[in-house]
């Protein structure tokens, strides 16, 4: 066993690790560092040892991926916890063994090319063993999962584990996300100063306001420029993500699961395993996002490369007003314009007439539906569409048969019910009886109705989420149980797809995406808001995983009115759907909508493989570009978000094209001037041909548009 430094690399990313005197420590992560000899590695590690300044500890500060107070780190510790009486509170890990894996999964010898390592460290006097799996994926993401085992004689109360990577001096900006219901993933920026930028998610679900992908970057970093370093926690329960700068100059970004007091007690021999924490480095936020997109596309969602089916969801069409005749007619119109999946939302189950009751009673409502929901499903499938259904499995209404029969299945600290949210409470999924009951009920409904798609909702935060049996916080158990439940239901119903929804987009993360197939980005389908929400969400998710629906002309959440072309263009750069009562739509508008459905079908496969480029041109025109991996074609959605102080806008560069090729550029959906008297630039009425180098470096003029108008520009390689 050697303890020399280790070079892991894959997908254009290098990680140089050292082990001496700490949990593994990252000396470098970023662009591939080239072939490095053992001597190079040793010299490099030496070159990173800091000087010892006066007024501090007498040794160079060594910062492991779980920074240790015992090593003189005065920032956030990586491992926190204690034993009864307060022992073992300041662990100091030294490495015990290292297992390294090569590109084909072989156990590689140290010093050879490796893309994964499993490093075991221990603090024998604290009675703790730590195993860190560090992998560099084919896409260049670095991910770490840590397991801690109590080897001591008495229980260890784990307060939490975070994994932290160093970031260089040049990282001066912090970029992450805020948000709320109907306005998710709003980017925010702040200076990276001494102290901690701390984002704690304590909602028991990822949250509308989650940090999502926390990045740090160079001063002028943006979508396409500046070095950026980002992280993300693949977990849908409570999470922490932070950027920290300490007085001795070190800057780190760290993340992990956030545990509640007493949530994890490790008995002797017991192990806690953390969620994977993902780290990414790139030039620009788009390149960083592209690593996550490629990762998601290569793993769970390979079946989606042709793009998602066009979905009609009935929620904003009928809300709780369910009746067979209306929905059957809606299905017929949907099928006639090319919809491929018809989803019946909330309101179909026993007693559910509004959002105050019945969650948990997963039986088709006898009064409203009788056998006719099954009939509707047959009708939908005969029309050539798939049938989807809404569930909110983790929830329970007090006014339900389930709550009357099993009040002890509801999460809550002893002696009081949690504050209700949307009139509802949360089922204890770690109770095997509650879990088994859900498997049986959901399975029975799926089989009875021929459901091939579930919109899986989660409409409240977890407050006082304690196990009714023990009183202990159970958010971690709940989160892991829902993953298991999704997997069990999918395994029993091969081909079933699940959309992750949580009051809109409050459960979007790489954890849930290992068990689901599409996410609902927001309950706000006002396209103006959606442009920003989708651009933010694309920091992690590729467009084909983001549900985006064309709603009624007047948005139900904001009251603003928009043209169909704007509504449809926003949905086109995502997983396109409709959420609009088509019974109220005239034949001209229906024909227009059908044309948009056709256009989406033409491009969805292309968009599902494309590299995404985002931009805000002249501070007012949002741009979402989708460029083929071989750069043979690109589509740019242009969205006028504000009225500029001066116009017309200057030339807009087209990011991502091949600078050695020629392109034909055309507007395939021109902005229609609201005034009707503007003179277009010559190229806007007829395609032009230009070298890619000019399109990338000089750009072209864009159409004049008023707020909330859009255009689609297509570039096709000629040579
Ligand atoms: C949540 C979802 C909506 C809809 C309703 C139904 O708010 O985000 O899309 O499904 O629940 O109650």
Distance CA 346, CA 361 (A): 12
Total number of residues shown for the chain: 719
Predicted confidence at residue 174, as pLDDT, reads 98
> What is the 8-class DSSP label of residue 259?
P
* pLDDT tens string 21-62: 778 999 999 999 999 999 999 999 999 999 999 999 999 999
Q: Are 71 and 58 in contact (CB under 8 A)?
A: no
Distance CA 671, CA 582 (A): 25
Q: Which residues pair with 99 in a beta bridge?
A: 118
**Residue whose C-alpha is closest to residue 344's, from 372, 371, 368, 376:** 376
Q: Has residue 109 got a pLDDT over 80?
A: no
* pLDDT tens string 435-449: 999 999 999 999 999
| Conformation bin of residue 246: beta by default, left when phi > 0, alpha when psi is -120 to 50 | beta
**Residue whose C-alpha is closest to residue 141's, from 289, 294, 279:** 279
Predicted confidence at residue 670, as pLDDT, reads 59
| Conformation bin of residue 557: beta by default, left when phi > 0, alpha when psi is -120 to 50 | alpha
Query: Token pair for residue 211?
Result: 């940090």
Q: Lowest-confidence range among 281-290, 459-468, 528-537, 683-692?
A: 683-692
Query: Token pair for residue 11?
Result: 């997908």
Q: How many CA atoms lie within 13 A of 208 on its CB side?
A: 17
Distance CA 236, CA 205 (A): 5
Q: Has residue 113 got a pLDDT over 80?
A: no
Atom 1 of ligand 1: nearest residue by CA position: 503
Q: Are 193 and 54 in contact (CB under 8 A)?
A: no
Chain centroid to CA 615: how far? 20
CB atoms closer than 10 angstroms to residue 12: 15
Atom 6 of ligand 1: nearest residue by CA position: 346
What backbone phi and psi angles, to 5 degrees, belong to 38?
Answer: -60, -35
Confidence of residue 684 (pLDDT cuts 50, 70, 90): confident
Q: Has residue 672 got a pLDDT over 70?
A: no
* CB-neighbour burial class of residue 224 (10 A; exposed 0-12, middle 13-18, buried 19+): middle
Tell how far the Cα of 528 is from the centroid of ligand 1, in angstroms. Answer: 20
459 lines ligand 1 (CB under 6 A): yes
């007091």: which residue's tokens? 261
Confidence of residue 103 (pLDDT cuts 50, 70, 90): low
Chain centroid to CA 676: how far? 41
**Rg of the chain over all Cα atoms, to the nearest angstrom:** 27
Q: How many helices (H) and strands (E) does the chain have?
A: 12, 36
Q: Pairing relation of β-strands 453-456 and 497-500?
A: parallel
Q: Which residues pair with 408 in a beta bridge?
A: none
Distance CA 468, CA 409 (A): 7
Distance CA 119, CA 135 (A): 11
Tell how far the Cα of 429 is from the centroid of ligand 1, in angstroms. Answer: 21
Confidence of residue 681 (pLDDT cuts 50, 70, 90): confident
**Maximum alpha-carbon separation in the chain:** 83
> What is the 8-class DSSP label of residue 48?
T
> What is the 8-class DSSP label of residue 254?
E
Q: Are 421 and 346 in contact (CB under 8 A)?
A: no
CA distance to 456, 520, 531, 576, 671, per residue, from 572 (Å):
23, 15, 11, 5, 16
Chain centroid to CA 718: how far? 36
3-state SS class at 217? strand
Q: What is the 3-state secondary structure (H, E, C) of 302-325?
A: HHHCCCCCCEEECHHHHCCCCCHH
> What is the 8-class DSSP label of residue 484?
H
Predicted confidence at residue 299, as pLDDT, reads 73
Mean pLDDT of the chain: 94
> What is the 8-class DSSP label of residue 436?
H
Distance CA 411, CA 560 (A): 39
Q: What is the 3-state secondary structure (H, E, C) of 129-143?
A: EEEEEEEECCCCCEE
Counting from 1 in the atom list of ligand 1, the atom nearest the Cα of 390 is 10
> What is the 8-class DSSP label of residue 583?
G
């303890």: which residue's tokens? 3
Q: Is the dihedral of CA 690, 696, 698, 700 positive or negative?
A: positive
457 lines ligand 1 (CB under 6 A): yes
Tell how far the Cα of 212 is from the centroid of ligand 1, in angstroms. Answer: 21
Q: Has residue 588 got a pLDDT over 80?
A: yes
Average pLDDT over residues 549-560: 98
- Residues acting as catalytic residues: 457, 523
Q: Has residue 674 got a pLDDT over 80?
A: no
* pLDDT tens string 175-232: 999 999 999 999 999 999 999 999 999 999 999 999 999 999 999 999 999 999 999 9
Query: Token pair for residue 138?
Result: 């084919």
316 lines ligand 1 (CB under 6 A): no
Average pLDDT over residues 335-343: 98
**Residue whose C-alpha is closest to residue 163's, from 248, 269, 244:** 244
Domains delineated in the chain: 6-298 (2.70.98.60), 612-717 (2.60.40.1180)
């004689």: which residue's tokens? 153
Pocket test for ligand 1, best of 453, 459, 519, 524 (most atoms within 8 A of CB): 459
Q: Has residue 102 got a pLDDT over 80?
A: no
Interior/surface letters 34-61, b for 16+ CB within 10 angstroms, e for the rest = eebeeeebeebbeeeeeeeeeeeeeeeb
Distance CA 261, CA 258 (A): 10
> What is the 8-class DSSP label of residue 608?
T
Q: Has residue 110 got a pLDDT over 50?
A: no
Confidence of residue 3 (pLDDT cuts 50, 70, 90): low
Pocket test for ligand 1, best of 345, 456, 500, 521 (most atoms within 8 A of CB): 345
What backbone phi and psi angles, to 5 degrees, belong to 499?
Answer: -100, 130
Counting from 1 in the atom list of ligand 1, the atom nearest the Cα of 455 is 10
Interior/surface letters 628-653, b for 16+ CB within 10 angstroms, e for the rest = beebbbbbbbbbbbeeeeeeebebbb
Q: Has residue 563 got a pLDDT over 80?
A: yes
Atom 2 of ligand 1: nearest residue by CA position: 503
Distance CA 471, CA 669 (A): 59
Atom 5 of ligand 1: nearest residue by CA position: 346
List of E strands, 347-402 = 386-391, 395-396
* CB-neighbour burial class of residue 476 (10 A; exposed 0-12, middle 13-18, buried 19+): buried
Angle at the Cα of 594 (from 593 to 599), degrees rounded to 5? 95
* CB-neighbour burial class of residue 96 (10 A; exposed 0-12, middle 13-18, buried 19+): middle
390 lines ligand 1 (CB under 6 A): yes
Higher pLDDT, 303 or 638: 638
* CB-neighbour burial class of residue 197 (10 A; exposed 0-12, middle 13-18, buried 19+): buried
Q: Has residue 488 got a pLDDT over 90?
A: yes
Predicted confidence at residue 112, as pLDDT, reads 47
Distance CA 65, CA 24 (A): 6
358 lines ligand 1 (CB under 6 A): no
Atom 12 of ligand 1: nearest residue by CA position: 346
Atom 7 of ligand 1: nearest residue by CA position: 503
List of E strands, 352-424 = 386-391, 395-396
Chain centroid to CA 374: how far? 34
Predicted confidence at residue 304, as pLDDT, reads 63
**Residue whose C-alpha is closest to residue 695's, from 633, 639, 610:** 633
Q: Has residue 104 got a pLDDT over 80?
A: no
């Amino acid at each position: 066993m050697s303890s020399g430094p280790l070079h892991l690399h894959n997908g254009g990313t290098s990680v140089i690790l050292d082990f001496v005197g700490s949990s593994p420590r990252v000396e470098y992560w970023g662009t591939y560092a080239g072939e490095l000899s053992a001597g190079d590695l040793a010299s490099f590690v030496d070159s990173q040892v800091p000087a010892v300044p006066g007024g501090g500890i007498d040794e160079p500060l060594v910062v492991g991926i779980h920074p240790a107070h015992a090593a003189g780190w005065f920032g956030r510790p990586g491992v926190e916890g204690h034993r009864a009486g307060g022992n073992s509170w300041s662990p100091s890990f030294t490495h015990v063994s290292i297992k390294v894996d090569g590109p084909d999964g072989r156990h590689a010898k140290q010093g050879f090319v490796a893309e994964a390592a499993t490093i075991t460290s221990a603090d024998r006097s604290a009675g703790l063993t730590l195993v860190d799996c560090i992998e560099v994926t084919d896409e260049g993401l670095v991910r770490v999962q840590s397991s801690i085992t109590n080897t001591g004689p008495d229980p260890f109360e784990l307060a939490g584990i975070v994994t932290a990577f160093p970031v260089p001096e040049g990282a001066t900006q912090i970029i992450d996300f805020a948000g709320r219901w109907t306005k998710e993933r709003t980017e925010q920026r702040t200076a990276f100063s001494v102290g901690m930028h701390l984002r704690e998610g304590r909602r028991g679900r990822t949250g509308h306001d989650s940090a999502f992908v926390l990045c740090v970057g160079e001063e002028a970093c943006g979508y396409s420029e500046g070095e950026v370093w980002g992280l993300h926690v693949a977990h849908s329960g409570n999470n922490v993500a932070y950027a920290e700068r300490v007085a001795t100059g070190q800057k780190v970004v760290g993340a992990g699961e956030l545990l509640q007091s007493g949530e994890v007690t490790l008995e002797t021999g017991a192990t806690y395993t953390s969620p994977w924490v993902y780290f990414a480095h790139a030039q620009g936020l788009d390149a960083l996002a592209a690593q996550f997109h490629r990762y998601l596309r290569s793993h769970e969602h390979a079946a989606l490369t042709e793009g998602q089916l066009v979905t009609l969801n009935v929620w904003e069409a009928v809300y709780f007003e369910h009746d067979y005749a209306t929905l059957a007619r809606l299905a017929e119109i949907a099928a006639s314009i090319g919809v491929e999946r018809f989803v019946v939302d909330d309101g179909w189950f026993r007693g559910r007439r509004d959002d105050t009751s019945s969650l948990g009673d997963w039986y088709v409502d006898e009064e409203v539906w009788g056998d006719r929901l099954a009939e509707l499903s047959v009708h939908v499938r005969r029309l050539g569409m798939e049938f989807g259904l809404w569930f909110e499995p983790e929830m329970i209404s007090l006014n339900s048969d389930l709550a009357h029969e099993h009040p002890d299945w509801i999460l809550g600290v002893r002696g009081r019910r949690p504050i209700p949210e949307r009139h509802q409470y949360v089922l204890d999924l770690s109770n095997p009886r509650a879990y088994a009951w859900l498997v049986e009920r959901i399975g029975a409904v799926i089989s009875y109705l021929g459901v091939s798609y579930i919109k899986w909702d989660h409409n409240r935060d977890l407050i006082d989420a304690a196990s009714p049996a023990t009183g202990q916080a159970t958010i971690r158990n709940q989160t892991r149980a829902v993953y298991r439940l999704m997997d069990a239901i999918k395994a029993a119903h091969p081909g079933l797809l699940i959309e992750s929804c949580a009051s809109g987009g409050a459960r979007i993360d790489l954890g849930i995406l290992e068990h689901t197939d599409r996410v609902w980005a927001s309950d706000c389908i006002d396209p103006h808001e959606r442009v920003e929400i989708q651009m933010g969400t694309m920091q992690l998710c590729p467009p084909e995983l983001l549900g985006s629906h064309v709603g009624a002309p007047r948005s139900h959440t904001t009251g603003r009115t928009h043209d169909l072309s704007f509504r449809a263009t926003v949905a086109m750069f995502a997983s396109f759907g409709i959420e609009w009562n088509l019974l109220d739509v005239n034949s001209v508008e229906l024909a227009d909508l059908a044309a948009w459905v056709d256009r989406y079908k033409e491009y969805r496969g292309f968009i599902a493989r494309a590299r995404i480029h985002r931009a805000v041109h002249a501070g007012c025109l949002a741009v979402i570009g989708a460029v083929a991996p071989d750069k043979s074609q690109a589509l740019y959605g242009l969205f006028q978000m504000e009225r500029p102080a001066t116009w017309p806008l200057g030339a807009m560069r087209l990011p991502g094209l091949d600078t050695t090729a020629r392109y034909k550029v055309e507007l395939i959906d021109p902005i229609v001037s609201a005034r009707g008297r503007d003179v277009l630039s010559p190229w806007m009425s007829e395609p032009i041909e230009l070298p890619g180098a000019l399109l990338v470096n000089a750009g072209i003029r864009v159409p004049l548009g008023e707020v909330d108008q859009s255009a689609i520009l297509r570039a096709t390689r000629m040579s």
